[in-house]
């Protein structure tokens, strides 16, 4: 029944938590005036955390691919299992889209020059 290693499970929940923190932090930063130095400081933390989240996502996907722990029993073929798989794929896609769009915004507004 247990198809994932403890390390993968910990990584999963750590990433879920980090995503929520990055999400709320982004909303908070967006509400700050561009004239505040505080905004730049927070953005540096936000961008670093976002980058780490993106990198850990890649690590997790590679680890899953290498260990192939998913769906080895009969349940693998039932509709619920397929739904869960599709849901996770969509979720991964959204996370990467957020990370990439964050990087795109940072490049567009010349964040490197600002920092
Ligand atoms: C895990 C991933 C991330 C999440 C959940 C996230 C979330 C957010 C949110 C909610 C906002 C506010 C958008 C708004 O209401 O205007 C935001 C803004 C922003 N994010 Fe991210 N972000 C992530 C990763 C990144 C990364 C990797 C970078 C860059 C390397 C980045 C750079 C930025 C920048 C530059 C802004 C604009 C702030 C402003 O000018 O107001 N983000 N992010």
Is the model more confident about 104 or about 6? 104
Domain boundary assignment for the chain: 6-114
Residue whose CB lies within 8 A of the most ligand 1 atoms, among 23, 30, 46, for a mutation test: 46
Q: What is the mean pLDDT of residues 59-69?
A: 80
pLDDT of residue 75: 57
Nearest CA to ligand 1 atom 32: 102
Q: CB under 6 Å to ligand 1: residues?
A: 19, 22-23, 26-27, 29-30, 43, 46-47, 50-51, 53-54, 98-99, 102-103, 105-106, 111
Tens of pLDDT, residue by residue over 7-56, are: 888 988 999 899 988 999 989 998 998 888 899 999 999 999 999 999 99
For the chain, the maximum distance between any two Cα atoms, rounded to a whole number of angstroms, is 58
Which atom of ligand 1 is least distant from the CA of 31? 41
pLDDT of residue 107: 94
Residue with tokens 């923190």: 21
CA separation for the pair 47, 102 (Å, rounded): 8
What's the pLDDT band for 5 if we cut at 50, 70, 90?
A: confident
Residue with tokens 């680890």: 63
Q: What is the mean pLDDT of residues 79-93?
A: 87
CA of 74 to the centre of ligand 1 (A): 41
Q: Is 50 in contact with 22 (CB distance < 8 Å)?
A: yes
pLDDT of residue 68: 67
Is the model more confident about 88 or about 69? 88
The sign of the dihedral angle between the CA atoms of 10, 15, 16, 22 is positive
């Amino acid at each position: 029944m247990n198809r994932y290693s403890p390390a993968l499970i910990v990584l999963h929940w750590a990433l879920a938590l980090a995503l929520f923190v990055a999400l709320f932090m982004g909303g908070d930063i967006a509400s700050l005036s561009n004239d505040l130095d505080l905004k730049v400081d927070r953005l540096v933390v936000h961008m670093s955390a976002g980058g780490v989240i993106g990198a850990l996502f890649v690590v997790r996907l590679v680890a899953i691919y290498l260990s192939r722990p998913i769906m080895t029993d009969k349940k693998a073929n039932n509709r619920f299992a397929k739904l869960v798989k599709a849901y996770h794929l969509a979720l991964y896609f959204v996370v990467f889209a957020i990370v990439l769009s964050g990087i795109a915004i940072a490049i567009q507004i010349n964040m490197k020059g600002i920092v």
